[in-house]
Chains A and B, each alone.
Chain A
């Protein structure tokens, strides 16, 4: 016990006296959290549109007014020539051209039907789909409006026979940020704990100090505990502080039990730390271990469902995710914080992580040799 205490003391002194690393470890994650959560949004606003109104009737003007009044759109320019708009589309100054052809109002009055064209920059397919949906919404609203006006209210009675109502649970304001905060927090905690452990032992190897430890009577398990515990504590501290920031700045609800959350996180961190330790044992240089770690990180992060739901991934990806620890915590942390799921809802994931922790720590202990 005493040996472990001294080892811990040594590690903490080494971490705390490093004046360049300390601010990186403590400040960086939180600056990132605050900035990046704001960046991560799929909400569309200020869509730049270019209006080509060749009809210039009261009906077409009414429609353009509707677009202008919408908070989602911003009128970038207008002319009578579609080519001018295309130029703007090419230079990214406009995202969509609303092209109302000549005779729009006349056709609408005489044939009860008129068409208009939406030219959308679709390089970002997702955004283009949303722009189209928003535009259709405005147009059909306007359509309804003039239908009622022109038929003196007859149209109003002919509503849809099936009424669809919807309600958004757990997040009625559709705030995307409260979904991203836990996600980015998981990433930050993972980066810190994985990289610090992975680089730590290799550094001792490169410096030659590992041999000094090897000749001492320190036992294998004492050494590993001494190496892992400090990073576990740092990571838990980061999680706690990150949650506090999320609560204060982004109003992230904490519906579920924090005890369960921290319990799961400890097990998760054991997986990550064991993994980092193992990687550092099989690597020869900091550059190498960093690159290998980085590779796994990137793959695991992208597949974990942080940006896109795991449900829309193909089956093989979900099979790969069985060995992806980040995917487990990503799911659990959001369930606990946002929906208040309890241990009964997550026990399967919890036990999987527990088994995983045994495997990864076991691997690390087995691979650690006191001989050089």
Chain B
């Protein structure tokens, strides 16, 4: 046992000696949380629009004012003839052009109807959709306002209630997602690389002839990463809680316990990767490609899984981050207890067992 602790100490010294890596290890979650909190949003704020007003009368001015006085739009350009529209879009800094037809006021008063045309740069379909609905919303509001009273029409009033997240804050999505991503990458990548490094440098053989058992060697190598990753996880939770008001409705002990389980799962995945990669480069590429983008895109972190085609929904069931994100949301936001998350816990446990089993099998072969 004493030997083992000596070994663990050696590993800690290895890690703490590398100040640059350590700095990034702790700088990364902070940078990520801040980026997701402030930068990666789908909200429309001061979107740059152009207006082509063929009529320039009181009504069109009033509608323009209504649009620009909202926080959503900012006038970037006034267009004077048809030709300019396409050029403006191609330049790329305007996403929407609003066109008022000529004699707008007159048509509105004599023919009871006038047309507003919204042209959208739909290369980003999602953004175009949002812009369109915000713009039509404001114009329809104005339209209702000038319309003579609607008389006795039956009206159904939907009363929406946003459960669990009243203000539709993004933090509820990105704190669990960031945690899942960072913990996975930090632990799986770091362990796989540090073990492969010993193999590549030939120092693994030195370790193998030492009186330490191979299980002890591996456990000793990953121990520091458990500690670092756990600290990382706590830092992300604390940032979410303190800076972005992420609630913790459920049991904190359960939350930390599940975090630890996820870290151990990621570690065993890292060990498994190291047993199949001959060089650090390969280990890195596997962790990078097989983990980073899928964890970001197939876990429900950024894009909801329910919207994906079924082969991908099926594929997402083998992405560990998916289960962790579900767990975290349940515990933190919905405040549910273990009864609601035992299935996900079991899946993570099972994955850990599988990776460890596979690693042991592969590791033995290498020893012969």
Interface of A toward B, CB cutoff 8 Å: 20-21, 24-25, 28-29, 32, 35-36, 38-48, 63, 89-92, 95, 108-109, 112-129, 132-133, 135-136, 139-140, 142-143, 146-147, 150-151, 155, 158-172, 174-176, 178-179, 187, 191, 195, 199, 203, 206, 283-288, 290-292, 294-295, 298-299, 302-303, 307-309, 311-314, 317, 331, 334-335, 338-342, 345
Contact = CB atoms under 8 A, between A and B. Distances in A.
Interface stretch (B254-262, B263-271, B332-340): B332-340
B201 interface: yes
Nearest to B92: A335
Interface residues of B, number: 117
B70 interface: no
B277 A123 contact: no
B168 interface: yes
B69 interface: no
Interface of B: 18, 20-21, 24-25, 27-28, 31-32, 35-36, 38-45, 47-48, 89-92, 95, 108, 112-129, 132-133, 135-136, 139-140, 142-144, 146-147, 150-170, 172-173, 185, 189-190, 193-194, 197, 200-201, 277-282, 284-286, 288-289, 293-294, 297-298, 302-304, 306-309, 312, 315, 326, 329, 333-334, 336, 340
A42 B163 contact: no
Contacts of B47: 311-312
Given A41-B303, A108-B154, A118-B158, A299 B297 contact: no
Given A40-B297, A46-B306, A161-B108, A117 B286 contact: no
A38 B308 contact: yes
B162 A122 contact: yes
A145 to B, nearest CB: 11
24 contacts: A35-B315, A89-B163, A119-B161, A125-B165, A143-B154, A150-B154, A151-B153, A162-B116, A162-B139, A164-B135, A164-B140, A168-B122, A174-B122, A191-B289, A195-B288, A283-B20, A295-B28, A308-B39, A312-B42, A312-B43, A313-B40, A334-B124, A339-B89, A339-B121
A286 B280 CA distance: 7
B115 A120 contact: no
Contact of B284 (A122, A165, A286): A286
A205 to B, nearest CB: 12
Contact of A108 (B122, B123, B156, B162): B156
Contacts of B156: 63, 108, 114-116, 139-140, 142-143
A285 B196 CA distance: 13
B225 to A, nearest CB: 12
B293 to A, nearest CB: 6
Contacts of A91: 340
Contact of B201 (A155, A206, A341): A206
Contact of B116 (A20, A121, A165, A298): A165
A147 B297 contact: no
B35 A44 contact: no
Contact of A112 (B112, B135, B153, B170): B153
A160 B153 CA distance: 14
Nearest to A177: B125
Contact of A36 (B90, B142, B277, B297): B297
Given A90-B340, A309-B127, A314 B153 contact: no
